[in-house]
Amino acid sequence: MEALLSVYRSTFKTKLRGRYITLNMVRDVLDELNSDFHISHPGVSENDQQIPMVKIGEGPIKVFAWSQMHGNESTTTKALLDFLNFLQHPESYEEEASHFKKKFTFCCIPMLNPDGAAAYTRENANGFDLNRDAQDLSQKESQVLRKIFDSFQPDWCLNLHDQRSIYGLKEGNPAIITFLAPSANKEKSITPSRKQAMEKIVKMYHMLQGFIPNRVGRYDDDFNLNCVGDTFQQTDTPTILFEAGHYPGDYQREKTRELIFLSYLSFFGLLDDKVEAKTCDTSHYFNIPENKKSFLDIIIRNAHFGKEKALIDIGIQYEEILKDNTILFTPKIEKTGKDLALFGHNEIDVVGDELLINSHKIADIGVEIKSIRRNGIDFTEDLLKN
């Protein structure tokens, strides 16, 4: 596995770093792909930006993947382009890459929502969440996605997303990667296509335990036909949701990017991860812990404010703000209270010391934190570094 990671680190696309990934950046990478890849533009966004599609391979198993349906969710895009680059620079994995092209026909949209990506928003240019437009198909991007699905008729669908840093698991660990085999009906039945998706997820889950043990989760499977994954699962097409989450200290999601890349390899059977077929069943899928909204970016424990006698905890969450083509992580007070029943990616117990936030003895919800003093000493930089 270490040999593979070495290959990955030598071939991943250095042009794609950080959280802000735009269509021009994607185009630059696609321009470097060799003639094995067929690049087309099956449609445009609401702002008339051409949506790129990449196809490679000539095998009988057709896999369709799309990323950045939400414009501010770029980690799976980075990993997807790394995967394409890996296929043309396999080095010691040339045999595996050749096998992939004979077994699979892989069609992917690296960036479905280029307008949202440019603005760093979840929604598209019209303010629509494309993942709630699977039935109405009111937006051009949704129409492009459905057109490709209908014409390509995939055997598998990969729905690629990021999740916020608020998600964790019951053991108090962050949910670094989360998967879901979406439901195909309100009863959450284990249909044949859903069963296939569950088995693949279990295989990827076992592989990731070697890298991030007890930090892989399972998403809530409530049915919503307006969601793309649920709609495609209902057509008897095995569909898997990938959610790239927060790795401790990795707010740029470069480590998570690597783990998503490995998940792609595992899905396509390009890893010798020694997961026996008998372990990849639905019972093991439901043993994967379900992720919960249990984390904040920072929690200050047992703080003393002004005349208040009771000690309180202060929960801080970063708001991601686009400025000058860079994502700024702006800390804001999210929650306060005694003994907050949440975990912090960064926690500090000030054991009753007096705090001043922005020179005030109060901690109001929603306030942007510009400075924090503890017993008169500034510790803003140490606390808020990310």
Q: What is the pLDDT of residues 205-231, one digit of tens each?
A: 999 999 999 999 999 999 999 999 999
CA distances from 366 to 169, 331, 369 (A): 26, 9, 9
Confidence at 280, pLDDT banded by 50, 70, 90: low
Confidence at 294, pLDDT banded by 50, 70, 90: very high
Does the pLDDT value for residue 2 go beyond 90?
no
DSSP for 209-253, written as a single string: HTTSTT-EEE------TTSHHHHHHHTT--EEEEEE-PBTTBTT-
pTM for this entry = 0.95
Domain boundary among 268, 293, 318: 293
> 224 and 344 share a domain?
no
Per the structure, how many domains does the chain have?
2
> 369 and 222 share a domain?
no
Closest CA to 29 of 108, 115, 95, 99: 108
Cα separation, 303 vs 249, in Å, equals 24
CATH of the domain at 98: 3.40.630.10
pLDDT for 274: 54
> 370 and 251 share a domain?
no
Q: Averaged over 272-298, what is the pLDDT?
A: 81
Determine if residue 364 is left, alpha or beta; phi over 0 gives left, psi from -120 to 50 gives alpha, anything else beta.
beta
> 251 and 377 share a domain?
no
> 320 and 185 share a domain?
no
Which residues constitute the domain of residue 357?
295-384
Confidence at 136, pLDDT banded by 50, 70, 90: very high
> 196 and 103 share a domain?
yes
> 87 and 220 share a domain?
yes
Does the pLDDT value for residue 332 go beyond 60?
yes
Confidence at 9, pLDDT banded by 50, 70, 90: confident
> 272 and 322 share a domain?
no
pLDDT for 279: 62
Domain boundary among 277, 293, 309: 293
> 250 and 106 share a domain?
yes
> 19 and 52 share a domain?
yes
3-state secondary structure of 16: coil
Domain boundary among 293, 322, 347: 293
289 DSSP assignment: P
> 275 and 227 share a domain?
yes
CATH of the domain at 345: 2.30.40.10
Does the pLDDT value for residue 278 go beyond 80?
no
> 235 and 363 share a domain?
no
Token pair in block for residue 221: 């499977």
3-state secondary structure of 171: coil
